[in-house]
Chains A and B, each alone.
Chain A
Amino acid sequence: MALLSVNDLSISFGGLKAVSNFNMQLHKNDLAGLIGPNGAGKTTVFNMLTGVYLPTSGDIQLDGKSLVGLKPYQINHRGVARTFQNIRLFNDLTVIDNLKIAYHSHARYGLLGAICRLPGFYAGEKEIHEKSMELLKIFKLDHKYDELAKNLPYGEQRRLEIARAMATKPRILLLDEPAAGMNPQETHELMELIRWIRKEFDLTILLIEHDMSLVMGVCEIIYVLDYGQIIAIGTPDEIRNNRRVIEAYLGEEAS
């Protein structure tokens, strides 16, 4: 059975049908791509999957349970984490605090423990700190743990956002243009990183990306959206040679 199954998902803003009848089946450990020209509705799909927007119709099921109508934080608790196209870090906080916040739902002490500083508080904080440092190491940000997030270079901000999403211990990771603004070298490293975390954390990943070398390089299955509708699904090779896909992209370039 599919881990995430999306059935006939649609949403309109006023008169505009931003996404219509979107269907998708993600299985455990899939690494899928979602591509399409600007304004195709890719981010809108993410926003529906994570509860930011309420779909006009259709259903999203995780492990057979519907996610529609849940708040974003509840969906995160069910195991779906994401990054944002326009980076949304906690800018004025340190790198490590960005991660610690994401660990919040897994903290092992309560309000009383915090206010009265019971021994459990110190143990809990120690654990959060160590786990956060471990993740930072994986994302090669540990030496910058004490810097403000806003002072990191762009590529590192993107990496920090992924690390932060990972701190919520997701089963499914949604990445919205993770390579945007990165140079080829950084993009290449990111590809390696994405492959590695999928294996290491037994993750299912869906990513939106305009950088075709990245999408074709890491994704095993690709969904192509155009004007809110799926126009093709397939392996990188199939997609590369799909006439409708080429037209959709050429059409965009021609205009």
Chain B
Amino acid sequence: MMSMFERKIGRQIGILLVLAAVWGVIDFMIKGGILNPYYELNLILIGINIILAVSLNLINGFNGQFSIGHAGFMAVGAYGAAMITIKAHLPFVIALLVGALLAAICGILVGLPTLRLRGDYLAIATLGFGEIIRGLIVNIDYIGGAYGLSGIPKLANWTWIFWLTVLTVLVIWNFVNSTHGRATISIRENEIAAEAMGINTTKYKVMAFTIGSLFAGLAGGLHAHYFYTIQPNTFNFLKSFDILVMVVLGGQGSITGSIIAAIALTIISASLQKFAALRLVIYALLLIIIMLFRPQGLMGTKEFSLKMFRKKSKDKEGKQHGTAIGQ
């Protein structure tokens, strides 16, 4: 038993080394001025988008809820964290923590009453909550009102964002691949059966929603402290839809799918920066086409791994003898 534990530890150290190398090389390139600031900006955006997409995937993909108000929680995190550094002058870590926790608390507040709603009703409720949060921010002059908040110190950088992205993915990955994750997924598969099998469905729905919101808040805090100015409109439902597109494109229920989609879509939107309307038309068509032809997204609920390629050839053989059982 201990050997399995040790083997896992060994693999984890390997992954950590690869990540450290990626971080180190890019950090060196940024500090040495080799990396064009434009690329740096996009790397930062990719990190933030991965956090957003993976955390929304926990809610929509794994738990089978349907939230389209993720940007609202990002807003809470952004404003919460910014207030801590601007008004309370506390360290960045504390600001990020407070922002994330505030978002998580909002997640619980939103989740408890609305999560018993089904599918599309929940969607519209989360959208409503996102708009309420934005509407409240607009109405509070102390935090900048409709004009937004500026003068936030630029405390986030590549290092912060890279490692916090890694942390997010790790936490959600470990959560999903545990008995708690299975409980979460069972609700997506069949809520009535899940409850009959002893799963406290309310608890796990609220939990998924809270963890998802927590990380959306973290992404918000990072966003605020990288771009040093935030406006309520940054977090409107177009932002929520952006995140949704990443999750749907990558595959609802696939963490690696979300990561790949976040990277791809960040690059696509960067290259369409000058054509904002065109970008959204393309997004729109992408959404429709995915739903019509590949509703499970790129990855479905599978995870990307090198094993996939090895297994492919075996699958092909299997297919030829495949039967129609259960189709």
Asked if A and B form a direct contact in the complex, defined as CB atoms under 8 angstroms apart, the reply is yes
Residues of A within 8 A of B (CB): 50, 52, 71-73, 76-77, 81-82, 84, 88-93, 97, 100-105, 107, 109, 111, 114-117, 119, 121-126, 128, 150-153, 164-165, 167-168
Check B174 for interface membership: any CB of A closer than 8 A: yes
Contacts of A123 in B (CB 8 A): 1
Contact A101 B326 (CB under 8 A): no
In the bound complex, CA of A152 to CA of B326 (Å)? 6
Contacts of A97 in B (CB 8 A): 182
In the bound complex, CA of A180 to CA of B108 (Å)? 42
Interface residues of B in 200-222 (CB under 8 A from A): 200-201
In the bound complex, CA of A237 to CA of B180 (Å)? 48
Contacts of A165 in B (CB 8 A): 197
Contact A111 B182 (CB under 8 A): no
Q: Which among A81, A89, A102, A151 has the highest number of chain B CB atoms within 10 Å?
A: A102
Contact B4 A93 (CB under 8 A): no
> How many residues on chain B are close to A (CB under 8 Å)?
32
Check B193 for interface membership: any CB of A closer than 8 A: yes
Contact A90 B198 (CB under 8 A): no
Q: How distant is B262 from chain A, measured CB to nearest CB, in Å?
A: 22
Contact A104 B174 (CB under 8 A): no
Q: A105-B199, A122-B8, A152-B325 are in contact. List 12 more A-B contacts (CB 8 A).
A: A52-B196, A72-B195, A88-B192, A90-B194, A91-B190, A93-B189, A97-B182, A102-B197, A115-B171, A115-B175, A119-B2, A126-B1
- 10 A–B pairs (Cβ distance < 8 Å), ordered by A: A71-B195, A73-B199, A76-B197, A77-B198, A81-B197, A88-B192, A91-B189, A93-B189, A101-B197, A121-B178
Check B240 for interface membership: any CB of A closer than 8 A: no
Contact A76 B196 (CB under 8 A): yes
In the bound complex, CA of A72 to CA of B12 (Å)? 39
Contact B193 A88 (CB under 8 A): yes
Binary interface encoding of chain B residues 159-196 relative to chain A, with 1 for a CB under 8 A from any of its CBs, else 0: 00000000000010011001111110110011011111
Contact A126 B197 (CB under 8 A): no
Contact of A164 among B4, B195, B197, B201 (CB under 8 A): B197
Contacts of B178 in A (CB 8 A): 109, 114-115, 121, 125
Contacts of A103 in B (CB 8 A): 179
Name the CB-closest residue of B to A105: B198
In the bound complex, CA of A123 to CA of B186 (Å)? 22
Contact of B326 among A76, A88, A114, A150 (CB under 8 A): A150
Contact B192 A109 (CB under 8 A): no
In the A-B complex, the 3 residue pairs with the smallest Cβ-Cβ separation, listed nearest first, are: A114-B178, A90-B189, A76-B198
Check B234 for interface membership: any CB of A closer than 8 A: no
Contact B199 A109 (CB under 8 A): no
In the bound complex, CA of A76 to CA of B193 (Å)? 11
Contacts of A82 in B (CB 8 A): 196
Contact B174 A115 (CB under 8 A): yes
Contacts of B174 in A (CB 8 A): 114-117
Check B301 for interface membership: any CB of A closer than 8 A: yes
In the bound complex, CA of A55 to CA of B33 (Å)? 72
Contact A153 B325 (CB under 8 A): yes
Contacts of B4 in A (CB 8 A): 122, 126
Contact B5 A119 (CB under 8 A): yes
Contact B1 A111 (CB under 8 A): no
Contacts of A90 in B (CB 8 A): 185-186, 189-190, 193-194
Interface residues of B in 292-322 (CB under 8 A from A): 301
Contacts of A150 in B (CB 8 A): 326
Name the CB-closest residue of B to A164: B197
In the bound complex, CA of A90 to CA of B181 (Å)? 14
Name the CB-closest residue of B to A99: B197
Contact A101 B199 (CB under 8 A): yes
In the bound complex, CA of A164 to CA of B179 (Å)? 15
In the bound complex, CA of A102 to CA of B196 (Å)? 9
